[in-house]
């Protein structure tokens, strides 16, 4: 189970809402919602927005839920632009991604979290 799934299930149970009722409210099947809650499928792109529009508990924590939903993704698409160096970096990163050590990941996260 993913952290997104855990938080979503907690809110649903705290509200006393059935899986079917929440799924119907956000326009997905109960099978899909169950798969997202259990971590078998990533959260669809619009799920957090749909949840936030119907449940104040999600809206109040929108950024957190969006971040947790992003962490369920298994694929990431990068749109390459006109900056050749940035394109080279994106391609090199994709090629070496599976070879990154825990330290490499920690170092890169520190770079990405720096304020501009």
CA of residue 43 relative to chain centroid, distance: 6
Average pLDDT of the segment spanning 85-92? 93
Q: How far is CA 57 from CA 12, 48, 80, in A?
A: 10, 11, 36
pLDDT band at 9 (very low <50, low <70, confident <90, very high): very high
Give the Cα separation of 2 and 4 in Å (integer). 5
pLDDT band at 41 (very low <50, low <70, confident <90, very high): very high
Give the Cα separation of 37 and 60 in Å (integer). 20
Q: Which of 43, 87, 90 is nearest to 67 (CA)?
A: 43
Average pLDDT of the segment spanning 39-59? 96
Q: Does residue 74 have a pLDDT over 90?
A: no
pTM beyond 0.85: no
Exposure on the CB side of residue 38, measured as CA atoms within 13 A: 8
């Amino acid at each position: 189970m993913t952290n997104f799934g855990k938080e979503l299930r907690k809110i649903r149970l705290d509200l006393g809402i059935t899986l079917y009722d929440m799924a119907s409210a956000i326009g997905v099947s109960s099978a899909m919602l169950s798969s997202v809650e259990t971590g078998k499928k990533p959260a669809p792109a619009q799920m957090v927005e749909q949840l936030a529009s119907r449940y104040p508990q999600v809206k109040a924590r929108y950024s957190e839920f969006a971040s947790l939903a992003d962490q369920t993704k298994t694929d990431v698409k990068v749109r390459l632009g006109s900056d050749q160096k940035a394109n080279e970096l994106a391609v090199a990163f994709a090629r070496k991604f599976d070879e990154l050590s825990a330290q490499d990941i920690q170092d890169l996260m520190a770079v990405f979290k720096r304020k501009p």
